[in-house]
A and B are shown apart, each in its own frame.
Chain A
Amino acid sequence: MENKEVLNTLNDIKEMMERSSKFKAISGLSIVIVGILASLVSAYIYFCMGDYHINTPAKWRTTVIIAIVLLVVAFATVFVMSYLKARHFKLRFTFDTTMRRLLLNFFIPMAAGGLLCFALLSQQHYGLVSSITLIFYGLALINSSHFSYSELRYLGYAELALGLIDCFLVDYAVLTWFLGFGVFHIVFGIIFMLKYGRRK
């Protein structure tokens, strides 16, 4: 009996340390939805742009606008669905140190990568943009995994690896975006849901 009590105490300590330092209310379903959106959008770009080589300023402009809209919609989806999940399961969802740390650690690499892409695009260096988006997104995930579910880093490693492979390829931008932002999110989201979906 004593034994059980001591075990409970140790578990309480562990849980409290985790809960106070990590943001644990991300919706797995929203990750899958983001993946589906990204797949559809890359398919649209691939099939509707005449030929899929994004190699003229006009095509880049369209692509960048679509990408920014997609980015905003994706974050809104994750945010709103995570909020709903938190409310449903009575998880913490307040703008406190935990969430602030997560957002900061995610958006610093994202902002750096975004600015770099803008600089490259404005100087008409189109070649590496697709890999840079993936590389910095991967780094942002790895960085923020310390402040949320630690599994996020595996998605980060995958994006990073894909981005680096893409550096060596020419003209596969749409395909790597489809894989990285579409397929990877769907697969990761499903695994994530299987692991965390039903509990708490």
Chain B
Amino acid sequence: MIANLDGLNKAFESKIRLGIMSVLMANESVDFTMMKSLLELTDGNLASHARSLEELGYIHCEKKFIGRKPNTSYSITDLGRAAFSAHIQALASFINTQQ
């Protein structure tokens, strides 16, 4: 039953990181609060997973101030889009080889 899972990206093994990438694939940019409520996460949890994706260069994080409140918003990079598409391709072809 060990099939070929070479194309899978380790970075997207965590459900949370997978969720962040899915949301950013469908939206131009998403702010911290909305991402948190969509994925039902805590502040720290989201921040650490987002940072690891940012370090890989998959997402871009923009911090700015709206009035006096800090506002963080995330968007996907070209590299991230390519990596995530490849991951989905790998998942899909895995399904195909099983059938």
Residue positions of A touching B, CB distance < 8 A:
2-3, 6-7, 9-10, 12-14, 16-21, 92, 94, 96-97
Contact = CB atoms under 8 A, between A and B. Distances in A.
- Majority secondary structure of chain B interface residues (helix, strand, loop or mixed): helix
Given A10-B88, A12-B15, A97-B30, 10 more contacts: A3-B95, A12-B18, A12-B19, A16-B38, A17-B22, A17-B25, A20-B27, A92-B37, A97-B31, A97-B34
A9 B91 contact: yes
Max chain A C-beta neighbours (<10 A), residue from B34, B37, B39: B34
A96 B91 contact: no
Interface in B3-31: 3, 15, 18-19, 22-23, 25-27, 30-31
Nearest to B94: A6
Interface of A is mostly: helix
Contacts of A13: 18, 22, 88
Contacts, number: 55
Contacts of B33: 96
Q: How large is the interface on B (under 10, 10 to 19, 20 to 34, 35 or more residues)?
A: 20 to 34
Residue from B23, B31, B39 with most neighbouring chain A CB atoms (10 Å):
B23
Interface centre among A14, A18, A21 (most CB of B within 10 A): A21
Given A2-B1, A2-B3, A12-B15, A21 B95 contact: no
B22 A20 contact: yes
A199 B51 CA distance: 36
A21 B27 contact: yes
Contacts of A19: 38
A97 B22 contact: no
19 contacts: A2-B3, A6-B94, A6-B95, A7-B95, A10-B95, A13-B18, A13-B88, A14-B22, A16-B19, A16-B22, A16-B26, A17-B25, A19-B38, A20-B27, A20-B30, A20-B34, A20-B38, A21-B26, A96-B33
